[in-house]
Amino acid sequence: MGARRRREPLSRDRALVAAIALVDAEGIAALTMRRLAADLGVEAMSLYHHLPGKEGLLDGLVDAVVAEIVTAADQAETEAAGGNWRTRLRSRFLAARAVMLRHPWAPALLTSRSTIPGGVYGYYEGILAILIDGGFSYRIAHRALHAFGSLALGFAQEVFQPAAGAEVDADAAEAELAALSAQLPHLAAMVAAELHDATDPTLGWCDSQTEFEFTLDLLFDGLEQARGAAGPAAPRTPA
């Protein structure tokens, strides 16, 4: 209280909130020190009193996303309490995925960072606890963590994402694939067979909920088999 300040003073938190809003709206490329400052009604260099540079800003974004994941996942698992390990892990991963869908820039940012955000340790601790509680050895649980990979944080490795805003040339891509069907018969046949509900006919056209959950179940099935054994059913093929 008291007389209001001439303007709300800057702070690390205010900067991060504005940065997330900016990146959600216009993509990671729009996040510039100058632009962020402008959005805050301030000059670029003022940000340096609250953030240790651009890299620090990006680290802050990552920390924020991880925190959002942890919150969502904890809540989701609370709601799914009492289930078996599959159900509980599913709840966590799908909650994480919901966060990622809100922040499409997050996967690329996460995978580009070279420092591990502090929050993920706790997150993995939670996953690990579920696995151990589910009867897995530390050995298998460790490998399971690796196998989950980015799925644990809510996103699939979409090796080639089709760029936002290229949706209208559906029949153009279809024609292209038809032209290639001579050299790529299986691919053309598969796309033809699968093109019933998909609207975006590129190779990366369906990181849908279905694909995400299918992969998850595939891994869970494999893990279930491996739970007591030394490894997967056929860990080695003869050389």
Partner DNA sequence: AGATCAGCCTTACGTCGTAAGGCAACCATA
Partner DNA sequence: TATGGTTGCCTTACGACGTAAGGCTGATCT
The interface region with DNA, picked from 5-13, 94-102, 122-130, 229-237 by CB under 7 A, is 5-13
Q: Exposure of 38 by Cβ count < 10 A (0-12 exposed, 13-18 middle, 19+ buried)? A: middle
Burial class from Cβ neighbours inside 10 Å (0-12, 13-18, 19+) for residue 51 reads buried
Does residue 48 touch DNA according to CB under 7 A?
A: yes
User: Interface with DNA includes 32 (CB under 7 A)?
Assistant: yes
172: its two tokens: 């153009």
Q: Which is nearer to DNA, 55 or 194 (CB)?
A: 55
Q: Which does 27 bind (CB under 5 to 8 A by kind): a second copy, DNA, none?
A: none
Which of 61, 48, 51 shows the shortest CA–CA distance to 22?
A: 61
Judged by CB under 8 A, the stretch of 17-25, 36-44, 95-103, 135-143 that binds a second copy is 135-143
Smallest separation (angstroms) from a second copy to the CB of 5: 39
Q: Binds 111, which of DNA, a second copy, none (CB < 5 to 8 A, cut-off by type)?
A: a second copy
Q: CB burial class (10 A; 0-12, 13-18, 19+) of residue 188?
A: middle
Residue count (the chain): 239
**Distance from the Cα of residue 202 to its chain's centroid:** 21
Site for a second copy in 210-229 (CB under 8 A): 210-211, 213-215, 217-226
Q: Is 160 in the site for a second copy (CB under 8 A)?
A: yes
| CB-CB contact of 14 with 21 (8 Å) | no
Please choose which of DNA, a second copy, none residue 228 contacts, taking the beta carbon within 5 to 8 angstroms, the exact cut-off set by kind: none
55 is an interface residue for a second copy by CB under 8 A: no
Residue 233 found at the interface with a second copy (CB under 8 A): yes
Which x/- pattern, by CB under 8 A, does the window 83-122 give for a second copy? Answer: x--xx--x-----------------x-xxxxxxxx--xxx
Q: What is the DSSP string of 49-74?
A: GTSSHHHHHHHHHHHHHHHHHHHHHH
